[in-house]
Amino acid sequence: MASHLLRSLGLLSAVALIPITTAALAVTDTDTLREIDQFADVFEKVRAQYVDKVDDKTLIEGAISGMLGALDPHSSYMDSREYKNLQTQTDGFYGGLGLSVTMEDGAVKVIAPTEDSPGYKAGIKAGDYITDLDGQPLYGATLDEAVDKMRGNPGTKIRLTIVRPGRDKPFDVTLTREIIQLKPVKWEVKDRVGIININTFTNRNTATDVRAAIVGIDKALGAKPLGYIIDLRSNPGGLLDQAIDVSDVFLDHGEVVSQRGREKGDIERYYAKPGDMANGLPIIVLVDAGSASAAEIVAGALQDQKRALVMGERSFGKGSVQSVVPLSDGAALRLTTARYYTPAGRSVQEGGIDPDIQVPQLSDPDYKSRPRIREVDLRRHFINSAKVDDKVLEDDGKTDPRFAASSTDLAKRGIDDYQLYYAVQTLSRLGKPAGGGAVKASRK
């Protein structure tokens, strides 16, 4: 047993997984040592008996990935290439099709297309499955292999075969690769309402761009708008500090969010600084099933502080915080280290943010048949006590005459985004400001 134990500890020390010290051994129970010993036995047997020779690095990285994958859906191991890709995304500039993808049961699944990217313009939607690239099946390939095949020189074409839940047959989409430059924030003016579309919080300039959007809207109008719409739909989240800073743009006091870690006293609270750039004007926040993490922090902060009306669908429900821990070889861990809570002490884990006014996206012809994938649907997600009902919005079209229009009816009226239309109409009902007139829509 002693020789097995020494071999196990030596193996772990060699790959720098866990710094085993005398103090650590003193508190390590026998069962843990037995599991470490079993890991070493498996490692040696695979090296000696696997049909093909496999290098130690592949085995160790696989073991680390399996360790983190056993925890929750958001903890993971990133090799040096994946970590560099993450850093590139936070800088807001990368090459590709503009598709954020993951691997689910051996298939490549679209998390979300980046707005104005080739994938977005081609109509690829969150929840689509990519089964083939240029006629070659992807099943069995790793996520890295699939991403590498989708990337290429700008101007080159690639054909994707898409399986979309709710459609009877797969269909092909041909895309032209581009250099993708993330634009975290876009703005426009409609009926004297300022619309701020925040696409992501992964970019370090998100809050700065939100402030610039407010200045741009005011300049385009020559006066203050009736109010602002903050569009967080299909925003998968990103950096915690950007979510806090964006919330602070519209709050002049109070708590924004708190995060609570492993220990009882491990609580950090973040507060708004004085100064509301929107000067107290009405705000509507749009969310849907794709609004996650940092987007939910913003929606929850403005909702709890009675600063905004939240409208749309129930959000994704990701209430955990991930820290990126760099490793010595250029790789990194994405590790769940805390849960976050809204100012009222609510955890959005599983339950998400419930809108104050539920508005279905009636302009989407696939709205009722498209499945909503939320945190509660992910394997090994953290459990919360909140109970949610996904059928509420499906019933709205039957019980509320406001939501009785079909996508065809709306298209005839020139309405291609019913949720945004409804939000603009809500703010417009407040009336035109003195001296105001029609303003031509502008976009940045």
pLDDT, tens digit, for every residue of 75-104?
A: 888 888 778 777 766 555 566 898 878 777
Per-residue model confidence (pLDDT) at position 92:
54
C-alpha distances (whole Å) from 300 to each of 237, 282, 288, 348 are: 13, 16, 13, 8
Domain match, 246 and 157 both: no
199 and 174 belong to one structural domain: no
Q: What pLDDT, on a 0 to 100 scale, did the predictor assign at position 214? A: 97
CA distance 209 to 185: 6
Pick from 441, 317, 371: nearest CA to 127 = 371
Amino acid at 172: D
87 within some domain: no
CA angle 233/207/73 to nearest 5° reads: 50
The residue from 138, 155, 181 where one domain ends is 181
Does 440 map to a domain? no
CA angle 89, 247, 362 (to 5 degrees): 80
Query: What is the reported pLDDT for 81?
Result: 78
> Are residue 276 and residue 412 in the same domain, yes or no?
yes
* Of the residues 18, 51, 78, the one at which a domain ends: 78
Query: Is 382 in the same domain as 400?
Result: yes
197 φ, ψ to 5°?
A: -100, 110
Whether residues 253 and 208 fall in one domain: yes
Backbone Cα Rg of the chain: 24
Other CB atoms within a 10 A radius of the CB of residue 140 amount to: 8
23 and 148 belong to one structural domain? no
- In this structure, the answer to whether residues 47 and 10 fall within a common structural domain is yes
On whether both 378 and 239 belong to a single domain, the answer is yes
The reply to whether 209 and 171 lie within a common domain is: no
* The residue to which tokens 């490793």 are assigned: 327
Asked, for residue 367, whether it belongs to a domain, the answer is yes
Determine which one of 109, 183, 190, 318 is catalytic: 318
Q: Is residue 377 part of a domain?
A: yes
Same domain, 417 and 302: yes
Q: Does residue 433 lie within any of the structural domains?
A: no
Token digits for 117? 């990217």
Q: Any idea which residue has 């029609």 for tokens?
A: 438
Residues 136 and 211 in one domain: no
Verify that 39 and 167 share a domain, yes or no: no
Domain holding 42, by residue range, is 2-78
Give the model's pLDDT for residue 118.
93
What residues pair up with 160 in beta bridges, in sequence order? 133, 173
CA distances (Å), 78 to each of 17, 237, 239, in order?
14, 19, 17
- Residue 293 falls in the annotated catalytic set: yes
Task: Note if 304 is an active site residue.
Answer: yes
Number of domains in the chain: 3
Cα 159 to its chain centre, rounded Å, is: 26
Q: Which residues of the chain have pLDDT under 70?
A: 1-28, 88-95, 367, 369-373, 376-402, 404, 430-444
Query: Catalytic residue among 234, 247, 293, 320, which?
Result: 293
141 found inside a domain: yes
- Of the candidates 37, 128, 304, 354, the residue annotated as catalytic is 304
In a domain, 102, yes or no: yes
> Which of residues 181, 196, 215 is at a domain's end?
181
Question: Which CATH number do you get for residue 357?
Answer: 3.90.226.10
